[in-house]
Amino acid sequence: MHLCSKNELLVCFEGVAEAKSDAPAFTSVVLDGAVILQMLKPGTAKTFEEYAHQVFIPYVEGQLRRASRLDLIWDSYKDGSLKTVTREKRGKGVRRRALSTAALPGNWHSFLHVNANKVEVFSFLSNVLVQTFHDDSK
């Protein structure tokens, strides 16, 4: 088995399929929460609460403008799985609590390398989203 990054896989698919610029209409969206965290840098947010309200929730709301249903999934990997072993080989970061008033880590990607950090951020953001959309529906 050859380990590589997802970017390296794209080269294999070039020329196999034709790229389309127009997307079909859709009513639902499924988002990978872990990918969104990797994609959306904290920017000027200083705490997890600020990250949720200034960065994460606006992104999710933007996705909801194009669809009537949105499902947000968070990946998790069992101990001993190939993905877990691969992540462990990348190195370890520092464990930090994801609390609303806690300061965001200086190195976002290093923070996300620690599985316990990700699990806690997933839970925190899920709770904030539920509360936000529950409050908006009143």
Count of domains for the chain:
1
- Cα of first residue to Cα of last residue in the chain, in angstroms, is 52
Gap between the Cα atoms of 16 and 2, Å rounded: 21
> Which segment of 21-30, 55-64, 106-115 scores lowest on mean pLDDT?
21-30
Q: Which amino acid is at 136?
A: D
Residue at 113 is within a domain: yes
Residue at 1 is within a domain: no
Residue at 105 is within a domain: yes
Gap between the Cα atoms of 90 and 34, Å rounded: 17
Category of 43 on φ-ψ map: left (φ > 0), alpha (ψ -120 to 50) or beta: left
Residue at 10 is within a domain: no
Residue at 5 is within a domain: no
Say which residues have a Cβ less than 8 Å from residue 115's Cβ, sequence separation at least 6.
Answer: 77, 84, 87
Q: Which pLDDT score is estimated for 52?
A: 96
Residue at 118 is within a domain: yes
DSSP helix/strand/coil, 97: coil
pLDDT band at 136 (very low <50, low <70, confident <90, very high): low
Residue at 41 is within a domain: yes
Q: Which pLDDT score is estimated for 42?
A: 94
Residue at 7 is within a domain: no
Gap between the Cα atoms of 48 and 124, Å rounded: 8
Structural domain harbouring 66? 25-136
Gap between the Cα atoms of 87 and 90, Å rounded: 5
